[in-house]
């Protein structure tokens, strides 16, 4: 691979920060769920946290392989408390939309700079973000259908655990 242009390298390093923050964001959510006895949701967010960490590492590797210098980010503290499970997933959707916008911005820059290796690298992330936003929106839709209250939280937690198990199975099948 060739050398990255400085503008692309900077944008990719910013994305490393976005992915690292997302990983910590989901970890904070996992333990908020733990404090609410929502074990299915906790497992979902632990898996999400690890997935974001893996995304961050893909960016590290790409920058390094492209003769750039990946920069380890300093992270802002993610939120620690949420009003409700609905509020929590609304935060998640906003976070995923932010990451999508960031990746789209890098993609546009890569096209502008005629950096087609980076364009190719980013294609996977573009699809991944589409899937993530759709998944979170479907969870929000289910939460809205189920409604609020203690008994509803039990069903929400079970639904999210089912979703998590399906995503885990999909991830495992993709590794095989």
**Through-space distance between the first and last CA atoms of the chain, rounded to whole angstroms:** 28
**pLDDT band (50, 70, 90) for residue 23:** very high
54-64 per-position pLDDT tens digit: 999 999 999 99
- Is 69 in a helix, a strand, or coil? coil
pLDDT of residue 173: 80
- Say whether domain 6-175 belongs to CATH 3.30.450.40: no
pLDDT of residue 2: 62
31-69 per-position pLDDT tens digit: 999 999 999 999 999 999 999 999 999 999 999 999 999
For the record, the structure tokens of 34 come out as: 């733990």
pLDDT of residue 170: 83
């Amino acid at each position: 691979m060739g050398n990255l242009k400085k503008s692309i390298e900077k944008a990719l390093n910013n994305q490393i920060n976005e992915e690292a923050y997302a990983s910590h964001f989901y970890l904070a959510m996992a333990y908020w769920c733990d404090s609410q006895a929502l074990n299915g949701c906790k497992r979902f967010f632990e898996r999400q946290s690890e997935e974001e960490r893996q995304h961050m590492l893909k960016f590290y590797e790409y920058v390094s392989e492209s003769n750039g210098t990946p920069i380890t980010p300093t992270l802002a503290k993610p939120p620690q408390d949420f009003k409700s499970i609905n509020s929590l997933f609304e935060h998640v959707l906003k976070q995923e939309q932010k990451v999508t916008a960031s990746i789209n911005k890098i993609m546009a820059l890569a096209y502008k700079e005629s950096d087609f290796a980076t364009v190719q690298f980013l294609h996977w992330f573009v699809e991944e973000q589409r899937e993530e936003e759709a998944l979170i929106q479907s969870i929000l839709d289910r939460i809205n259908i189920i409604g609020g209250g203690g008994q509803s939280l039990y069903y929400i937690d079970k639904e999210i655990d089912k979703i998590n198990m399906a995503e885990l199975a999909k991830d495992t099948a993709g590794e095989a």
